[in-house]
Amino acid sequence: MKKIKINLKEFLETILPHPKLFEILTLAQNISKKRKEFLYFAGGVVRDYLLKKIYKKKVSKAKDIDLVLQGDLKSFLKEILKELKGEILFESQFLTYKVKINLNEKDFLIDFITARREIYEDISKLPIVFPSNFRDDILRRDFTINALIIGLSPPYEGILIDLVDGINDLERGLIKPLHLNSFIDDPTRIFRGIRYKVRFGFNFSEEFFLALKRCFEKEALKRLSGTRLANELKLYLNKEPEKNLKTLLITTLELKIFENSGIKTDKNILNSLVSLLKDLKEELTEREREKFFLLGLVNPEFVDGFYRLGFLESEIKELMKYVELIKKALPNWEILSLWEKIKIFEKIPPTYLLVLSLHFPSTKKEVIKFLKDYRKVRPELTGEELKELGIKEGKEIGKILELLRKEKIEGKIRNREDEKNLVIRFLLNKSET
């Protein structure tokens, strides 16, 4: 076990996102000393602090703080909450607590974790956990670079503990699992490893590939639940810098992770997906963007992939209905007018429309233009103004609005005057017939 003395004050100044957190941590530190229970930082904060030291890189302040206690966490938290305003927001089956602490009118969220041991009874299933000591808690972790801890209280106050040669791997830039069955126990670690590799520009160690091979042999990725698989992939989109998305997906493809998870996809689809996501960022809500991302990963010729990512039968059926709709229109696509195409696009929700444009590239340019522009085109004349011009309420208003939109999109009318003239022509035509 490697033990290195560190400057705790400097560590805290580097990682803490707010100066007021010092007070909370000092209190936690004092309570743990009084109770003689070892309190320490683990995971991302320790890794990022060392990254900063080793590579002199600018590392952002901790977004979430993981504090681990080797002891009775529930009663420890009770003591803290006697001294500070706050509440336990969530208690998980893994002996963890999300706690909101209010200090001088400001709320802080801290994840408190019980030092624990994990037992994986079945491939790809969630573990059973038991309270344990810091050694077991280190050894349950995903990668050596995430298995470093810094003590806040005795017996290791101000000490960095490295049981697994994590500092060496940080220096060499290696993503190394703690043991070769790691991905059989929990295949989500593969996606985590890919994120760290790309985020830090590291390499996979030999052990990573060996563990991956074992995971494939046991078909562990196929046994990972759809929800867990989808959640990991969503982190590519939501947690990592946008510029990394393409590399994340291509790395996943090249390591044959999609294939071994039961998802058929290819490089062209992934490249096109990334560029569409970027191009249409402003046009989609967060939920639409997430849904498009997941649906877009799958080649629709192999529908099983959609089930694999946890989509509902009804959603898949709906998408397939639109696939048929486009397929029917495609043979005549070149001779359809722009307006006829728009009428088809309007029947399809934006998320599904984008998925179709990925797989039927001849529609792509117009789908993008539709989502960015055409669908937002509205006449300048208001309903009131149309009534004043002599348009009747009800069906007739609908008809003229549609005509105005069509002519505007086709570039035949440009301003209010043109619109008024069109309305007058419409009324004249009607009186003649």
- Residue 113, C-beta contacts closer than 8 angstroms, at least 6 positions apart: 42, 66, 67, 68, 69, 73, 94, 95, 96, 97
- Choose between 89 and 424: whose C-beta lies nearer to ligand ATP: 89
CA-based nearest residue to 240, from 276, 198, 291 = 198
Establish if 186 lies at the interface with ligand ATP (CB under 6 A). yes
Count the site residues for ligand ATP by CB under 6 A: 10
Q: Looking at beta carbons only, is 76 or 236 nearer to ligand ATP?
A: 236
Strands laid side by side in the 96-103 sheet: 2-5, 159-162, 149-151, 38-42, 66-70, 106-114, 96-103, 85-91
Q: Are 112 and 69 in contact (CB under 8 A)?
A: yes
Decide if residue 188 touches ligand ATP (CB under 6 A). yes
Q: Name the segment binding ligand ATP (CB under 6 A); options: 22-30, 184-192, 385-393, 399-407.
A: 184-192
Query: Exposed (0-12), middle (13-18) or buried (19+): which is 420, by Cβ within 10 Å?
Result: middle
Q: Which is nearer to ligand ATP, 44 or 379 (CB)?
A: 44
Smallest separation (angstroms) from ligand ATP to the CB of 241: 12
Closest to ligand ATP by CB, 141 or 359:
141
What is d(CA 414, CA 426) in angstroms, rounded to the nearest whole number? 17
Alpha helices per DSSP H over 114-187: 134-139, 166-172, 182-185
Q: Is 300 in the site for ligand ATP (CB under 6 A)?
A: no
Structure tokens at 96: 């963890």
Name which of 42 and 323 has its Cβ closer to ligand ATP: 42
Q: How far is the CB of 75 from ligand ATP (least distance, A)?
A: 23
The sign one gets for the Cα dihedral 217, 223, 226, 228 is negative
Pick from 31, 37, 39, 44 the residue near ligand ATP by CB under 6 A.
44
| Least separation in angstroms between CB 72 and ligand ATP | 21
Q: Which of 189, 291, 308, 408 binds ligand ATP (CB under 6 A)?
A: 189
- R_g of the chain computed on alpha carbons: 29
Contacting residue, 37, 137, 142, 207, with ligand ATP by CB under 6 A: 142
User: Least CB distance from residue 292 to ligand ATP, whole Å?
Assistant: 24
Closer CB to ligand ATP, 66 or 407, in the complex? 66
Q: With respect to ligand ATP, which residue has the nearer C-beta, 193 or 296? A: 193
| CA max distance for the chain | 96
Q: Rounded CA gap, 145 and 192, in Å?
A: 12
CB < 8 Å & 24+ apart, contacts of 299-306: 299/264, 299/265, 299/266, 299/269, 299/359, 300/355, 300/359, 301/264, 302/264, 304/262, 304/264, 305/262, 305/263, 305/264, 305/265
Residue 131 or 283 with smaller CB distance to ligand ATP: 131
Taking CB under 6 A as the criterion, the residue among 12, 24, 37, 43 binding ligand ATP is 43
Within residues 194-253, the interface with ligand ATP by CB under 6 A covers none
Compute the least distance from the CB of residue 152 to ligand ATP, in Å: 17
Calpha distance 365→273 (Å, rounded): 14
Spatial contact of 3 and 159, defined as CB atoms under 8 Å apart: yes
96 makes contact with ligand ATP (CB under 6 A): no
| Beta carbon nearer to ligand ATP, 248 or 342 | 248
Q: How far is the CB of 285 from ligand ATP (least distance, A)?
A: 25
Q: How far is the CB of 257 from ligand ATP (least distance, A)?
A: 15
User: For ligand ATP, which residue of 114, 146, 205, 261 counts as binding (CB under 6 A)?
Assistant: 146
Is residue 66 close enough to count as binding ligand ATP by CB under 6 A? yes
The answer to whether the CB of 226 falls within 8 A of the CB of 215 is no
Least distance to ligand ATP, CB of residue 129, Å: 11
Q: How far is the CB of 42 from ligand ATP (least distance, A)?
A: 6
Say which residues have a Cβ less than 8 Å from residue 425's Cβ, sequence separation at least 6.
Answer: none
In angstroms, what is the minimal distance from the CB of 365 to ligand ATP?
37
Q: In terms of CB distance, is 195 or 359 closer to ligand ATP? A: 195
Return the SS3 of 162.
strand
- Please report how close the Cβ of residue 308 comes to ligand ATP at its closest, in angstroms: 20
> Where does this chain bind ligand ATP (CB under 6 A)?
43-44, 64, 66, 141-142, 146, 186, 188-189
